[in-house]
Structure 1
Amino acid sequence: MMWSFFVSFAWLVLGYLAGSFPTAYLIALRLRGIDIRTYGSGNVGATNLGRLMGKKWAFLVAIVDMLKGGVAVLMIRLFGASDVTVAMAAFAAVMGHNYPIWLDFKGGKGVSTTYGTLFFVAPPGSMIAVPLGGLVWLIILKIGGYVSLASILSLFGLAFILPLCGVPAPFALSAFGLAVLSTWRHRANVKRLLSGRESRARSK
């Protein structure tokens, strides 16, 4: 019993540490000599790095942020961890991105990492559901023009899409929790949306 608890806890720590890899921070610091936390929104994520270095770098950061949590979750699943442990490790990976120990627990908003971790939690269902969630994100972005709104709504949508694709309940619950977490991390954006002051995504 104790050994099982220790192993499960170790998987959660691994998920957190994998998610805490500060991709945008390191790229901005190494290539521009800038602490991304002092630029733009101060967010350590793809969107803010895109403001500093352009869409290509934002895309690269988004991909790495997806993979860092996703690969960790895939490895944990391949080692035979239970659904509950894998779901908790997915949540821990996003917590690592949002609250990285290396950056005084001040990280990003976790959207890319959420998509990356959930993609691998329960193949093949999750591998179908996550792209559908990404499609929801794209549609909302095209209609409204707000990255923050598209991110929040698509994550809640994904929490409902997962069980429709046959993904077990622990992962849907984890997805819903991550959607709530993302909403909290976007709380400043939500306030600006409600007051009409949120900036729209630039088309170029």
Structure 2
Amino acid sequence: MQIAIALVAAYLLGSVPFAMISSKLFGLADPRTYGSGNPGATNVLRSGNKKAALVTLIGDALKGWAAVFIAQRMGFSDNVIGLVALAVFLGHLYPIFLKFKGGKGVATAAGVLIALDPMLGLAVAGTWLFMAYAFRYSSLAAVVAAAMAPVISVLMHGGNGQTVVVGILGMALIGKHWQNIQRLMAGQESKIGSKKKA
């Protein structure tokens, strides 16, 4: 029962839509009505309000980190902690509070990874930052970081249970970016900071 409660709580925490909360706090339009329509930090940035985007980014990352951190402190096994990590991540992707239409999970996944293994999380975040700085495409950076995450995990820890969780997170992230991948291939993807539809 305790495990079930932890998983439901993690999912509900993941469902908290910080893009919506920050937009209301800063008097912005619903992020689902402009840009990519995605309730995430990158799309909130398209509103031109960097503070709102930062609040969204931090909030989405913190909920991923908090769910895993609390599970660790409660003494759950590594397998249960892995399930909690997936639950909070899926909560962000398919939030009950937004009729199961959520964000793409980049910040939440980063928070999860940092909680699971700070060095792994920082390595993956560094991959995202490098790609974003070099090419100015948030989606490309996310896809490359997601693809590299399980590889980095294998190099650091081998093929353990954590690597399986990281692999699932990575595949889900890439899947959520499928339309972005198509636009990248067609040369139609908007760069970071662009207010055009992405």
Tell whether the structures are fold-level matches, with TM greater than 0.5: yes
Q: Comparing both chains, which one has the higher relative contact order based on Cα–Cα distances under 8 Å and sequence gaps of 6 or more?
A: 2
Cα separation, partners in 2 of 1:177 and 1:139, compared to 1, 3 Å: same
Q: Tell me the equivalent position of 2:175.
A: 184
Percent identical among aligned pairs is: 36
Root-mean-square deviation (CA, aligned residues, Å) is 1.8
Partner secondary structure for residue 90 of structure 2: helix
1:8 paired with 2:8, answer no
TM-score when normalising by structure 2? 0.91
| C-alpha separation in 2, matches of 1:120 and 1:168 | 19
Q: Tell me the equivalent position of 1:200.
A: 191
| Unmatched 5+ stretches in structure 1 | 1-5
| Unmatched 5+ stretches in structure 2 | none
Q: Tell me the equivalent position of 2:114.
A: 119
The aligned length equals 194
Q: Pick one of 117, 122, 134 that aligns with 2:125.
A: 134
2:141 counterpart letter in structure 1: A
Partner secondary structure for residue 52 of structure 1: coil
| C-alpha separation in 2, matches of 1:168 and 1:59 | 34
Partner secondary structure for residue 191 of structure 2: coil
| C-alpha separation in 1, matches of 2:127 and 2:26 | 33
| C-alpha separation in 1, matches of 2:48 and 2:19 | 10
Partner secondary structure for residue 72 of structure 1: helix
Whether the aligned pair in 1 keeps the contact of 2:127 and 2:145 (CA below 8 Å) is yes
| C-alpha separation in 2, matches of 1:201 and 1:145 | 5
Deviation at 1:160, TM superposition (A): 1.7
Q: Tell me the equivalent position of 2:147.
A: 156
TM-score when normalising by structure 1? 0.88
Cα separation, partners in 2 of 1:155 and 1:86, compared to 1, 3 Å: same
| C-alpha separation in 1, matches of 2:56 and 2:160 | 30
2:89 counterpart letter in structure 1: V
Q: Pick one of 93, 100, 121 that aligns with 2:95.
A: 100
Deviation at 1:127, TM superposition (A): 0.6
Cα separation, partners in 2 of 1:167 and 1:128, compared to 1, 3 Å: farther
| C-alpha separation in 2, matches of 1:202 and 1:19 | 25
Partner secondary structure for residue 105 of structure 1: coil
